Amino acid sequence: MIIVAYIEKTTTTTIVESETTICLVCSVFCRLWFIWIKFKTFNLTQTRKNNKSRYFITQPAYLSVEINAHNLLYLILLVKQKQLPPQALNTPIFNSQACESIFRNTQALSGIYSTIANFTVHDFLRRAQRLSLLNDIKCKQLQNGSVDKLVFPVHYKHRIERLSSFTHSQLEIDEIDIEPVITNAYHHAVDMLEGLDILNLLAEKHVLELKPLSEYLFRQLNSNSQKHNYSSQISNIDDEVF
């Protein structure tokens, strides 16, 4: 589900909303699972170590799920507030290859006869701004069907992808209502656990609803947040969470 949420290249408003729902479903599902392990008493044999962390994913993996879901929500809010362009929601292109491509293109702006191979951060940002303007012209021309326009060469591998791509409009992003998306994701995650002992135990502890669930998780993660000295080998970091 996480892979589908962040790598799906179809970029209509419905897909953006469904991708956000999928991310939040994964987040809520992991929260329910995490807190259930906190309250659950396992019948372990004496020969096995009382280690609850083996019943859950690793702590870095879980934090990655939460951080990615919150970042996607934050991006949508920034686009709705017009602090970021709608293109910021094209999460499939956020990878290291795109960053390397930008760096190579900024180097190419030096010219074929230039002997300068390195440049300062200020110079890099200035060159990147030129590339941003150029890409903005290309993007607008793909949407404009007029005859009088500049034609930029496109690599054959990207021709089909560009023809099938869809650019968000500000109006479409404004139509996304965040609160119903979060509520639907919560109910979907609960439905996935229907019939299991997880929901019964969380209901007994009064942490099944979304607000007390999130508040309890925040207190748990906040109390276990600490700095580690990685200069020496540290084992069983996940055990400290439970």
For 141-153, the three-class secondary structure string (H helix, E strand, C coil) is HHHCCCCCCCCCC
| 23 contacts 68 by C-beta, under 8 angstroms | yes
Please give the Cα distance from 2 to 67 (Å, whole number). 12
**Residue 4 — pLDDT band, cuts 50, 70, 90?**
low
Domain final residue, candidates 107, 131, 163: 163
Q: Coil, strand or helix: which one is 41?
A: coil
On the question of pLDDT at 94 being above 70, the answer is no
Q: pLDDT at position 164, please?
A: 43
Angle at 163 between CA 134 and CA 149, to 5 degrees: 45
> Which pair of tokens denotes residue 237?
């970091």
pLDDT, tens digit (0-9, with 9 covering 90-100), for 118-132: 778 888 788 878 877
Same domain, 175 and 86: yes
Lowest mean pLDDT among 109-113, 155-159, 189-193: 155-159
Domain end position, chosen among 105, 129, 163:
163
**Residue 165 DSSP label:** -
Say how many CA atoms lie within 13 Å of 93 toward its Cβ: 15
Q: How confident is the model at residue 88, as a pLDDT?
A: 75
pTM score: 0.64
Whether residue 195 sits in one domain with residue 155: no
Indicate if 106 and 147 belong to the same structural domain.
yes
- Counted domains in the chain: 2
Q: Does 217 lie in the same domain as 124?
A: no
| Among candidate residues 145, 163, 181, the one where a domain is terminated | 163
Based on the fold, state whether residues 76 and 188 are members of the same structural domain: yes
- Cα 237 from Cα 66, distance rounded (Å): 18
Give the domain range for residue 108.
Answer: 95-163
Query: How far is 74 from 146, CA to CA, in rounded Å?
Result: 36
Q: Is there a single domain that holds both residue 172 and residue 150?
A: no
Average pLDDT, the chain: 75
Whether 49 has a pLDDT exceeding 60, the answer reads: no
Tens digit of each residue's pLDDT (9 = 90 or more) over 7-47: 665 545 556 777 788 888 999 999 999 999 989 887 765 44
Residues 27 and 128 in one domain: no
Mean pLDDT, to the nearest integer, of 91-111? 72
CA 188 to chain CA centroid, nearest Å? 19
Render pLDDT for 142-165 as a digit per residue (tens, 0 to 9).
Answer: 656 555 566 666 655 555 444 444
What is the rounded CA–CA span in Å between residue 142 and residue 76? Answer: 24
One domain for residues 217 and 118:
no
Listed range (51-60, 91-100, 114-123, 215-224) with the worst mean pLDDT: 91-100
Measured over all CA atoms, what is the biggest interatomic distance in the chain, rounded to whole angstroms? Answer: 79
Please tell me whether residues 78 and 115 are part of one structural domain: no
pLDDT score at 165: 45
User: Quick one: DSSP state of residue 54?
Assistant: G
- Rounded CA-CA distance 101/98 in Å is 5
Is the same domain home to 117 and 191? Answer: no
In whole angstroms, what is the distance from residue 47 CA to residue 68 CA? 38
> Are 78 and 174 in a shared domain?
yes
Per-residue tokens: 97? 């290859």
Q: Are residues 74 and 10 in the same domain?
A: yes
